[in-house]
Structure 1
Amino acid sequence: MLLAACLVLAAAPAAANGSSGGAAWGESLVGERFVYEVRRGDSLGGIAARHGTGAALIARDNAIGPRQGLKPGQQLMLETRHIVPQSNGDGITINVPQRMLFHFEGGALRTAYPVTAGRPDWQTPLGPFTVVNRQTDKPWFVPKSIQEEMRQQGKPVLTRVEPGPDNPLGRHWIGLSMPAIGIHGTNAPTSIYALRSHGCVRMHPDDVADLFERVRVGDAGRIVYHPALLAGLPDGRVFVEVHLDAYRRSGKPIDALRALAAERGIESRVDWLRVAEIVAARDGVAREVTLPEALPAATPLSTPTANPTGALAQ
């Protein structure tokens, strides 16, 4: 089964508009903490890919051993909360380390989806873009560099793949103003929520079909690179989310988070020992770090996070 589809000729330099490095600020979360009932044919990897969380995290949180299979009807606790990076306006924001795409419309977050972006040796470029085309059932014209990769791996060398089940672009293509880059579906849904593409942004077929209907040619967007995120919620709580710096573009997350907290005037409300634990774990979900004494008396730390947009798109 073909998985890769796009081509980036070289790793893009960090954009001058703050798209790379540092920590991103947010004021809301998306996703939730919930119980998932295992269905026939489910796997940890497939569940994780669909819900935007890590398979290892699901296994750890549910005490599942490395050789232990899943059973239909089994209940799993899933943690899928992510910090929504503050947007400069309507359109699409993709945070590569977070492996999340956020769509803003009318000044508010409308949807959020897990995605796959470029692998470390074939990085997704950063910076602003516009949507330049929307196509369904687009043939895949295989770039020469990917043909060479096929040759080196001993696979049949393809030059064109017609629409259908073998086409790694899936049914929907959203072309971007960045050269050779698009947002598209996939014929391998379990490959989502990773860094493994040839530069394009890959989505679950249902998610890209939903996004396809929401965007129009000329819509703006940006691709950013923030492994660390800090959120101050309206109720006074503070959350931190930290991911691996797979592209090696950022400094120490703890330093970036401290600087951002100081800039936002919330440094004294943060449990920095807890932040250090989150930085060490880098498990990619939003974790609360509010000091108990920093909260109003009526706000218990265990209160689930309100999510104004609902869970991740299903």
Structure 2
Amino acid sequence: MKHPSGFKRKQWRARPRLAALLCCFLFFLCGGSSSAQDWQAENSSRLIGQDQTISVMSGQSLYEVARAHGYSLELLAYANNLPISLAPVRQKSVVIPSRRIFPSGAPENGIIVNLPERGFYLFRKGETPRFFPVAVGQPGRFQTPEGQYVVREKVVNPEWVAPEWAGLGEDNVVPAGPNNPLGDRWIGLSSAGLGMHSTNNPSSIGSASSHGCMRMYPEVARTVFDLVETGWPVGIRYETSRVAVEKDGVYVVCFTDPYNKGGGQERLAAQFQELDLTGFYHLLDLSDLLESKDGKTRRVVELDAQVVADGKPALPAARVGKRVFVSGKTLESLGIQQSFDLPNQTVLLKKGELEMVMPLRLTDKKGDKLPNKTWGFLSRGAAWFPAKELLQTMAIPYKWEGSSKTLLVQI
């Protein structure tokens, strides 16, 4: 295939978003970074924990299993595709989805509540973030308000001054004790009546059933009470999905939409765009993940493949499903030259007498997909190309070894 002629003489005006992408890419091409063609993870990992499979004792309910491991009934039910029930579990084992992506923009010390996740992350300087389940407000009148707050007070054995909706009339002060819905710990926030507290209804943890506050298991409430300090920030968010870029790939998790706000797919796509992953997003089919909303964290782009050419040292590659992608740096190591025609959004790939022109995705237009998804794209400071399609077109022999996730290339 011949390279399009005359492209250097064409006049071209970039749209703002496209211009920004091109400027960034030109920075890398001109040596602005010593790792220009390498995979770039986020500055620090946002993954914590590992999923666990645990045995269920005879007669044990899913609620009992969940509480024993610091999780909620609903979380375990979604993760294991089981009904939300207090009845004994028939399964001999269940999965505890302990691998989590904690929210971005975390404070050194503070709390971030995520309403769709029915839980919060507690951050303390120098410590691994900890996750705790909560019950959040009911949809409608009592839904928990999003926003940024601070811890205003901490009270042991609080009284509850019941509002009008409780229907207690003039005798509306409930003393500390087993009948007090606040339990034995209250952490009040900087909004009247809003707080995090213990409960006398622990089986509700993980549901959207409170009157706006965030309920905790009694044992969790006592732990959190001792850890937090007045003045700490408390962010309440509504994130139905979360994306993290790690050294070994891209991870995604999706949650339910308790307040039926919709727009889950759009919010997920926006995160991929913000993380400079739009090219990978267009290769993924995340419909099952969006529909399941099971709270399990999955790796959707895997940096676990490698390319080996004629016995030379292995070079890294990415996998998306069954497809393998290689970076521009890997192509250089294979002796394949790249000449970018940015105005026409193509790249000339050449090795000796063999050459091909491949479309290059530079924009982030949703739905602007090319036939057979055979294109190169820019992501995380590198150009990426579909390996097998490229090698086939250039008549370069290769063999895929699935067991070792290795692409053997004869050059």
> Is residue 56 from structure 1 mapped to residue 77 from structure 2 by the alignment?
yes
What's the counterpart of residue 55 of structure 2? 37
Higher RCO (Cα < 8 Å, 6 or more apart): 1
Cα deviation, residue 101, structure 1 = 0.8
For residues 161 and 99 of structure 2, what CA distance do their matches in structure 1 show?
Answer: 37
Tell me how many residue pairs correspond in the alignment.
264
TM-score by length of 1: 0.72
Equivalent positions of 1:132-211 (< 5 A) are 132-147=152-167, 159-211=172-224
The question of whether the paired residues in 1 share the 8 Å contact of 2:150 and 2:190 is answered with yes
Q: 2: distance between equivalents of 1:178 and 1:289?
A: 39
Amino acid at match of 1:247: Y
2:132 corresponds to 1:113: yes
What residue identity is the alignment partner of 2:95? M
Task: Give yes or no for contact 2:115–2:238 (8 Å, CA) kept in 1.
Answer: yes
- C-alpha distance in 1 between matches for 2:103 and 2:189: 21
Q: Is the CA contact (8 Å cut-off) linking 2:305 and 2:319 kept in structure 1?
A: no
Out of 261, 271, 275, which is 2:272 matched to?
261
Q: Residues 36, 144 of structure 1: CA spacing in aligned structure 2 closer, same or farther, 3 A cutoff?
A: same
Q: CA deviation at 1:83?
A: 1.8
What's 1:247 paired with? Answer: 259
SS in 2 for 1:167: coil
1:223-242 CA-to-partner distances (Å, cap 9, x unmatched) read 11111211112x23212121
The answer on whether the counterparts of 1:138 and 1:173 sit within 8 Å (CA) in structure 2 is yes
Q: How much does 1:163 deviate?
A: 1.4
**Contact 1:44–1:59 (CA<8 Å) still a contact in 2?**
no
**Cα deviation 1:9-60 (Å, max 9, x = unaligned):** xxxxxxxxxxxxxxxxx94233431122334763123434542453433553
- Which amino acid in 1 is paired with 2:65? I
What do the CA deviations read for 1:293-312 (whole angstroms, capped 9, x no partner)? 778859999xxxxxxxxxxx
TM-score normalized by structure 2? Answer: 0.57
- Secondary structure (helix, strand or coil) at the match of 2:251 reads strand
Deviations 1:278-299 (A, max 9, x none): 0011222222211567788599
Amino acid at match of 1:289: V
Q: CA RMSD in A?
A: 3.3
Deviation per residue, 1:143-193 (Å, 9 max, x gap): 111227xx9xxxxx9723221222221111101001211100112222111
Provide the rounded CA distance (Å) in 2 between the counterparts of 1:291 and 1:146. Answer: 52
**C-alpha distance in structure 1 between counterparts of 2:192 and 2:174, whole Å:** 20
Alignment partners' CA distance in 2, 1:216 and 1:115: 19
For the 8 Å contact 2:184–2:218, the answer to whether it is kept is yes
- Per-residue Cα deviation, 1:75-114 (whole angstroms, up to 9, x for no partner): 3333233321113423111111111211112266432211
- Where does 1:298-313 land on structure 2 (aligned, <5 Å)? none
Whole-angstrom distance in 1 between the partners of 2:285 and 2:136: 29
Alpha-carbon offset, residue 126 of structure 1? 1.2
Q: Which residue of 2 aligns with 1:231?
A: 244
Q: Tell whether the 8 Å contact from 1:116 to 1:191 is kept in structure 2 after alignment.
A: yes
Q: 1:228 to 1:138 in 2, by over 3 A?
A: same
Give ranges in structure 1 of 5+ residues lacking alignment: 1-25, 152-156, 302-314
Q: Does 1:130 align with 2:130?
A: no
The structural deviation recorded for 1:200 is 0.2
Give deviations 1:266-286, integer Å, cap 9, x for gaps. Answer: 233458544221001122222
1:45, 1:273 → 2: CA distance?
35
Deviation readout 1:232-261 (Å, 9 max, x if unpaired): 12x23212121222223352x222222221
Aligned-partner Cα distance in 2 for 1:207–1:77: 21
Q: Which residue identity lines up with residue 162 of structure 2 in the other structure?
A: V
How far apart in 1 are the matches of 2:241 and 2:195?
25
Which deviates further from its counterpart, 277-286 or 195-204?
277-286
Identical aligned pairs, as a percentage?
Answer: 29
- Is this contact kept in 1: 2:51–2:95, CA < 8 A? yes
1:283: which partner in 2?
A: 294
Equivalent position to 1:102, from 121, 134, 146: 121
Aligned to 2:89: 70
**Matches of 1:58 and 1:227, distance apart in 2:** 15
Rounded to whole Å, the distance in 1 between the matches of 2:302 and 2:285 is 9
Larger radius of gyration: 2
Mapped partners of 1:290, 1:256: distance in 2: 19
Residue 290 of structure 1 aligns to a residue in which SS?
Answer: strand
